[in-house]
Amino acid sequence: MDQMPITPAKKKNITMWLVIGAVVIASLAIVAALYYSGLFVKDCKVLERRNCDKGTPIVYDGQPAMAFNLPGGTKIYSPFDGGFFEENEDRFNRGAVGVIDTSIFFKFVGLHSPAYKSGTIIEGGDEIALLQGGGDPIDADTNSNLVIYFAEANLSDYFSLE
């Protein structure tokens, strides 16, 4: 029996389904990280208990996220053991904790004072930053000064690997 040749249209369709499958798998990994981190439950791990339910769900940087409008001095904690990373931008700082040997990162955006130097290995529950007051809102719809989310990332985004 002769096999039908794969046309360019079929190749494009196969590629599209492979990409969709990869996106679904990545999304499931992020949802699992959100679930197991305890971020969206009453006893959250990244903020003091009194602030846990003050967030508003948003989409930030293409990821499901929580936006908060919290006072200066609010403590931010690491949800798990990992490496701490810090990026500075014009309007606000970005911090991240990456799980060692994975591509899962807890990320937070807002004016803050980091408790560690970038590249430091930390433990879950460690205070990693102190939120500062003021600054431009990160998300205009929620007037938030802190956005937290989980994402997949490559360590080369944080280190220059040779």
* Residues 6+ positions from 111 with CB-CB distance below 8 Å: 92, 93, 131, 132, 133, 134, 135, 145
CATH of the domain at 71: 2.70.70.10
> Is 6 a member of any domain?
no
Q: Is residue 7 part of a domain?
A: no
Residue 10 inside a domain? The answer is no
29-71 pLDDT, tens digit per residue, is 776 666 555 555 446 789 998 898 899 999 998 889 999 999 9
Which range of residues forms the domain containing residue 75? 36-157
Q: Strand 82-88 and strand 121-122: pairing?
A: antiparallel
Q: How confident is the model at residue 94 (pLDDT cuts 50, 70, 90)?
A: confident
d(CA 36, CA 72): 28
Share of the chain above pLDDT 70, in %: 82
Give me the phi and psi of 109, to 5 degrees please. -130, 130
User: What's the pTM?
Assistant: 0.68
Number of domains the chain is built from: 1
3-state helix, strand, coil in the chain (%, to 5): 25, 35, 45
Q: What is the pLDDT of residue 12?
A: 81
